Amino acid sequence: MPRNPSQFLLRSTLGILAVGGVVVAANLDVRAADHADSPDTTEGNLDANDLYVFARGDNLVFALTVSPLLAPGQATADAAFNPEGLYQFNLDRERDGVADAVIQVAFLGSGTDQMVDVRGPVATTATTMGVVSAPSIRAPFDQTVVQGGTSIFAGPRDDPFFIDLFGDRSVTSVLNAAFGAALGEQVGADDEQSLEFNPDATDDLAGLNTLAIVVEVPKSQVAGALGIGPSDAFFAWATTGVRQ
């Protein structure tokens, strides 16, 4: 449950298509949209923003952004990943919602002295979330390390997500209005009456940073771990977890 009514209101207002991004306004507690969808954690670095999976030549790149709405400077000064967290790319062969292979990302230490450990892609049949025993590649915070065809990076970046998130006729407020009218659900405090987006909209995440985990691996490794053909499809989602 949200800790206080204003937080609840703010986050609800944000909630919409914000795959990424979100609000800022005057309230420092505000977090990005899909971002702001983790009201059970005060740890922004476990709040997942966006998942990207894209091809570059014969490689596949997995990127996960967490810690939405980092102000410039903050990203390098005190933002870091959760050393008790486990960040995971889940790869699913049959689209049954059960991961058949994982890429795991975990951190040692705190602050910007952190080291990141990346393992996988590796097949798994685990039913609980835990570090798999597989070889890992290690990199210092905010530095790229390339090893055996795999590249890894974890550190602050410009938030790659772009959206009209705030203000009059933003995605958030207009869609809230649509839902509100049709479902009878009061979604946001500033729901619009007009069902048209702002024609002069700009990227409201411009100038803001996020924490990013980027892992590039050969497609053949993904296919191998999943046991699928070199031109097959699979399904991916990312999770954040914390020690129980």
Partner 1 sequence: MKTSPLFRTLAALATVAALTACDDDTVGPVAPMVDADVMSVDFGALDVDFGPGMTRIVTLTNTGSESVMLGAPSVSGSGAAAFMLDGAPGLTTLAAGATLEIGLIFDPVSAGPTSAQLDVPVTGGDAVMVALAGTGADYVYRQVDRIGIPALNTVFNHPPAFSKVDYNTASPADDLATYTGRFETVLGAVANPDPSGTAALLLPDALPVSLAGETSFATLTGRDLADDAVDVALSVTVGIESLKSDNVDANDVAFLGSFPYLAMPNN
Tokens of 66: 């967490």
Give the other-Cβ count within 10 Å of 40's Cβ. 10
Instruction: Give the span between the Cα atoms of 111 and 76, in whole angstroms.
Output: 9
* Residue closer to partner 1, measured from CB, 28 or 233: 233
Instruction: Select 25 or 71, whichever has its Cβ closest to partner 1.
Output: 71
Q: Do the beta carbons of residue 214 and residue 192 sit within 8 Å?
A: no
Residue 184 CB, nearest distance to partner 1 (Å)? 9
Q: Among positive and negative, which fits the CA dihedral 32, 37, 39, 42?
A: negative
Closest distance between partner 1 and the C-beta of residue 238, in Å?
A: 5
- The angle at the Cα of 158, spanning 191 to 16, to the nearest 5 degrees, equals 20
Least separation in angstroms between CB 27 and partner 1? 18
Cα 197 from Cα 176, distance rounded (Å)? 12
Token pair listed for 124? 């798994």
Q: Are strands 145-147 and 136-140 parallel, antiparallel or unpaired?
A: unpaired
**CB of 156 vs partner 1, minimal distance in Å:** 4
Distance CA 154, CA 152 (A): 7
Minimum distance of partner 1 from residue 28's CB (angstroms): 17
Minimum CB separation of residue 131 from partner 1 in Å reads 4
**Residue 130 CB, nearest distance to partner 1 (Å)?**
5
Q: What are phi and psi of 184, to 5 degrees?
A: 70, 20
Tokens of 95: 């689209």
| Between 27 and 130, CB nearer to partner 1 | 130
Cα separation, 37 vs 50, whole angstroms: 12
In angstroms, the CA 78 to CA 40 distance is 22
